[in-house]
Amino acid sequence: LFPHGGGVVAMTGGGARGLSSSMLSAFEVLDRGDLVRIEGEAVTVGKLPLKMAEEMAVAAEKHIKWYLSSIGKKKTNKSGTSSKEGGGGGGVGGGKDGKTNSSNKSAVDIKITASHEDHPRSSASFIILRAHTSKGCILAASALGERGKKASAVGHSCAQMLVAEWKAGGCVDSHLQDQLIIFMALANGQSKLRCGPLTLHTRTAIYLAEKLTGANFTVTPISDDGRKPPPEVRFDPKTGELKTKEQFLDDYKRSEEWETARGATEEAEVRNRKRGRQSKSKFKTGPPVLLQCTGIGHVASVKK
């Protein structure tokens, strides 16, 4: 548990049977479907009161309500907060947000619970929210309480992040992106994944996976409004400019310069972040992207 540790994680796996002769299968996740449910938990631990968890839950609900009403979706109210200490929080109703169902005949169920956990050493608070879709995709966001920061501000911030994940247009959230790279690289065949603008972790994972496995990744911006998406740009360390792939080829006549510029782009963005500057790279803002990978068809092996 934060901040002192001591938590226990229990996991049940499928066992090693059959893995010695099985290949990882390629996958395609391209359509996330409609938004059908939002759920979450606001929790206080140790000496922090249950009331703080309730304030986080209520603030998150209000922001989600505002977002759903701002896009003109149907709303329905549905309460359902639970607590080990008997406190209340509440669930809210929302609207349906999805591109494939314009009739909007059903509403989004939203339920955020508030609870308290006893702990002898740790005192902390957190909130986690999850958006479920009709195609089984789950996008999540979370936030930790901070000393001097109002509980309502923590809940509002978490809801803001969840809305941002949804508006990014991906089938996975920004924290799951990089976790899937190794599976795409080792799978047998071509995997395709629709996600939001790539994070620095994802781009780093792609770079390492390509170097270590020989798998090949491509990133293609997607436009949902019929307009041509902007081209990918990378930082040219020799000129200090952001250039497209075509510009790199015109200047250097070699594709190697474009590939080398990926690392320079990441370094430039890290420097800009440290200086508090907003990067101009399409990885920070912009349309969702189609991430494709031709895997190497790795055969899993298990030591007995």
Task: Write the single-letter amino acid at 43.
Answer: V
| CA–CA dist 19, 45 (Å, integer) | 40
List alpha helices for the chain, DSSP H.
50-70, 151-167, 181-186, 200-213, 245-252, 255-274
Angstrom CA distances, 128 to 210, 235, 260, 285, 294, stand at 33, 35, 38, 24, 34
Structure tokens at 85: 């200490």
| CA–CA dist 234, 232 (Å, integer) | 7
pLDDT tens series, the chain, 304 aa: 566 777 788 988 766 555 555 778 999 999 999 999 999 999 999 999 999 999 999 999 999 988 888 876 555 544 444 333 333 333 333 333 333 333 344 588 899 999 999 887 888 999 999 999 999 999 999 999 999 999 999 999 999 999 999 999 999 999 999 999 999 999 999 999 999 988 889 999 999 999 999 999 999 888 765 555 666 677 777 777 777 778 888 888 877 777 777 666 666 666 665 555 444 443 345 678 999 999 998 655 444 4
Q: Which of 119, 132, 156, 201 is catalytic?
A: 201
Find where tokens 């140790």 sit: 46
Half-sphere exposure of 105 (CA within 13 A, CB side): 3
Pairing mode, strands 190-195 and 28-29? parallel
Rounded to two decimals, what is the model's pTM? Answer: 0.71
Structure tokens at 244: 């497209």
| CA–CA dist 75, 105 (Å, integer) | 11
| CA–CA dist 83, 112 (Å, integer) | 11
pLDDT score recorded for residue 91:
33
**SS3 state of residue 228:** coil
For residue 63, indicate whether it is catalytic.
no
pLDDT score recorded for residue 155:
95
Structure tokens at 45: 């631990």
Q: What angle do CA 200, 156, 153 make, to 5 degrees?
A: 105
Structure tokens at 285: 């803002």
pLDDT score recorded for residue 237:
77
| CA–CA dist 106, 271 (Å, integer) | 46
Measured from the Cβ of residue 275, the count of other Cβ atoms closer than 10 Å reads 7
